[in-house]
Amino acid sequence: MVKNHNEVLYKNEQIETQRLILRKFKISDTADILEYGSDAETLEHVGWPGLSTLEEAQAIIYDRYMARNGLWAIQITDTGKVIGLINLHLNHDHDKVALGYMINRQYWGMGYASEALKAVLYLCFEGLRVNRVEAEHYTGNPASGRVMEKVGMKREGVTAKSHLVKGVFRDVVLYGITWDDYFRPAVLDL
C-alpha cells in the first residue's frame, strides 16, 4: 500500500464513471438515504439495521458518513439521485482492503453496483496499490456474488453461520481479488 493512502483517498473523494458519480455524502441526501435505509428488502442482505426517520438519516451522515474517508455516496449522474453507498476499510498489517456496498432495491439489476465496484477496485490497485481486496455477502444474495464476479473477484469459500445478523446466524460467502489477478492479462498471448 502506498504511504500517502490518506492523500490518495482525499484526492479521490469524487470519482466519475459512465453513469455514476461517487462522492461524499451531503446533508441534502437525507431523503435518498431514508428511501433505501427504510426498505426491508434492501436491508435484508446487509448487517446494517437501517433507519426510519429523516432525523436518523441526517444523524448517520454526521456520525458515520462524514466521519472518515473511503466512503462514497453512489449518485446517478443523469437524475442526481443517491442510490446507495460503497466503502473501504484499509488493513495496513496485511496490505489489503475490505469493501462493502449497498444499493437501493429499485436500482438493482442495472449494473450500477458493478460500475461503482470497478471504479473502486481501480482506485485500490492503481491508486492505493494494495495487494488484495476482499468482500463478503450472505447466502441468499447471489446477485451480490455475481457483481463481485463481474469485476474479477473470485469466490473463495463459505463460512457456516459465521455472522449473527439481526438475530439470525448467516452463512458468509467470501470473495477476493489479488494484485496478481488484477494485473494478469485475461488471455496470455504467447
Task: Give least dist CB 134 to another protein, A.
Answer: 7
Specify the residue, 26 or 94, whose C-beta has the smaller distance to another protein. 94
Specify the residue, 32 or 134, whose C-beta has the smaller distance to another protein. 134
* Residue whose C-alpha cell is 437501493: 104
- How many residues form the binding site for another protein (CB under 8 A)? 23
How buried is residue 173: exposed, middle or buried, by Cβ count under 10 Å (0-12/13-18/19+)? buried
Piece of 31-39, 72-80, 116-124, 178-186 that binds another protein (CB under 8 A): 178-186
Going from the C-alpha of 24 to that of each of 9, 109, 138, the distances in angstroms are 11, 24, 27
Q: Which of residues 146-165 bind another protein (CB under 8 A)?
A: 154, 156-164
Counting contacts by CB under 8 A, is residue 129 touching another protein? Answer: no
The span from the CA of 154 to the CA of 30, in Å, is 35
Let me know: does 22 contact 119? Beta carbons within 8 Å.
Answer: yes
Q: Which helix (H) or strand (E) holds 82?
A: strand 82-91
Counting contacts by CB under 8 A, is residue 2 touching another protein? Answer: no
Counting contacts by CB under 8 A, is residue 174 touching another protein? Answer: yes
Q: How far is CA 166 from the centre of its chain?
A: 20
Counting contacts by CB under 8 A, is residue 70 touching another protein? Answer: no
Counting contacts by CB under 8 A, is residue 45 touching another protein? Answer: no
Binding site residues, another protein, CB under 8 A: 93-96, 131-132, 134, 154, 156-164, 169, 174, 176, 178-180
